[in-house]
Structure 1
Amino acid sequence: MKIVRYGPEGHERPGVLDAQERIRDLSGLLIDIDPQALGRGLGSSLAAIDVELLPRVEGMHRLGAPLARPGKIVAIGLNYTDHAVEAGQPVPQEPVIFMKAPSTLSGPYDDVPKPRNAEKMDWEVELGIVIGAECRSVPQERALDHVFGYVVVNDLSDRAFQLERGGQWDKGKNFDRFCPVGPYLVTADEVENVQALDIWLAVDGQRVQDSNTGRMIFDCRHIVSYVSQFMTLLPGDLITTGTPAGVGLGMRPPRYLEGGEVLELGITGLGSQKYTITA
């Protein structure tokens, strides 16, 4: 099932796509796609619904991030060998973890402003995992049982703040709209093999990232299990799993976003995003 949130920013309504990928309204059944809905067993509720009987949403509507108000966004760094090499970093022996604030979320087609003091703004297409059931110290063999679904994420970054301004990575990762998510949240039952999905990103029509989730150093099962050792994962939490090679930092010379560029990115079966970086 492909779940969406549609409508003006800050006033989105929950919906689901039917077989023709038209939006059907879910607001008669729940308030929003958020941690509370997932914690109440949203997956079981949706499985019992005949989507074709839901009210059809007419006309064109903005899509927001398909997940509202996640409790936390946990990000994994350097999770593709080729990206670690291009970044000049050693290949990690354990997953690298940092955090992104929920205030970074934006919709899949919303333009992203370049921060006023950003000098080295960069792109990172990533697979996102949405947690559906609470877990802590979960073994790998049961880790994916706690996953509700998957999304496309762009872990936008400013490399100067991330790497050159002292402290940890968080300063370069947490500007407003630095985490576009969507267009939809695909439930786990629709993803046959999450480690076999093509993943790509293009800048102004030029494809610069082109890989597959099968090339991750640490797969989704490992990531969920590993992160749950250090923090309790709750329904609605988002884990973004790292980016493959092809980021601006890794180019020679480096290529950063100046404003005006159009980014397009996507993952097989999870849809695609498109927006402009505004100056």
Structure 2
Amino acid sequence: MNTFLVELATRLMDRWLTALVAPGLLWIAVLVAGTRLGQDTPFELDQINDWLDWLTRQPALQTPAVVILLAVTTVLAAGSVGLLAGALGGLVERCWALPGALPPAAWLLAARRRRWDWATRRLRTTVLHAVELEAQRADTGRTDALALRRQRQRVRLGLARPVRPSRIGDRYVRTAERVRRVNGLDDLALVWPRLWTVLPDSLRTEIAGARGGTSDAARLFGWSMLYLAISTWWWPAALLGAVVFAVATVRARSTTENLAALIETAVDLHSADLSERLGLPTAHSRVAAGHAITDQLRGSSSRDNARDAH
């Protein structure tokens, strides 16, 4: 038992250092450098060297107790900044799931739809032009290449017309729709906690890892916001924030795609196991079995719903 507790504490400490303290120390270093350099002389690194030399000559910093206290304070401050970045990341994850009914999410959804519709019209025009050329037995090579390029441009905007303010939100919606269409589970959020209990350990570990990856990507968005905040004192920090934001965007889309695929896999392979654990009779189709699971968990049945409708 003691060995297990020591191993658990070691892992938690490693994660705390790598996920919170190390990035926090880097942010604090950028903050200190930015406040020392300022907006007028953003790249005068000699000022940093002079300031560090001045610090090393201070009598108080020659005392070991003061140095230890300063180091501990810095580590705690870095951890606090890391927690703040994590909190901002949690807010970002909530924004991914927004339906886009109210501003400013509604404005973003409308803008995404306008861009997608514009790309669709361009693609349709190009395809029609290619069809006309083919009917005239003319060379369609350049037009076909243009149509392929415009199709790729539209795919980069989304596989279908946006229904959420973000592409990640669209991916979550597609997962819920596929689960409803293929497996008959009308309410994935209701079914998922029960389904989780019947999944094998290997699949649960992969899903948990993918879920952690999405949280890490969201935390990167939080770090980008914190770097952008430093730009009020030192404008090059905005460049750092933009780079972190770009990396976070790529990672978020990748990890979300992986998580959604694993969720779909779990439902496809183990919804029948959940039906058996719930003691439901064998259904004539996968969709019917999914409807039965949903009705059971809602405490209702299709017959009850039909009676209520009348």
**What TM-score results when the alignment is normalised by the length of structure 2?**
0.20
Task: Pick the structure with greater CA Rg.
Answer: 2
Structure 1 or 2: larger helix share? 2
With normalisation by structure 1, the TM-score equals: 0.22
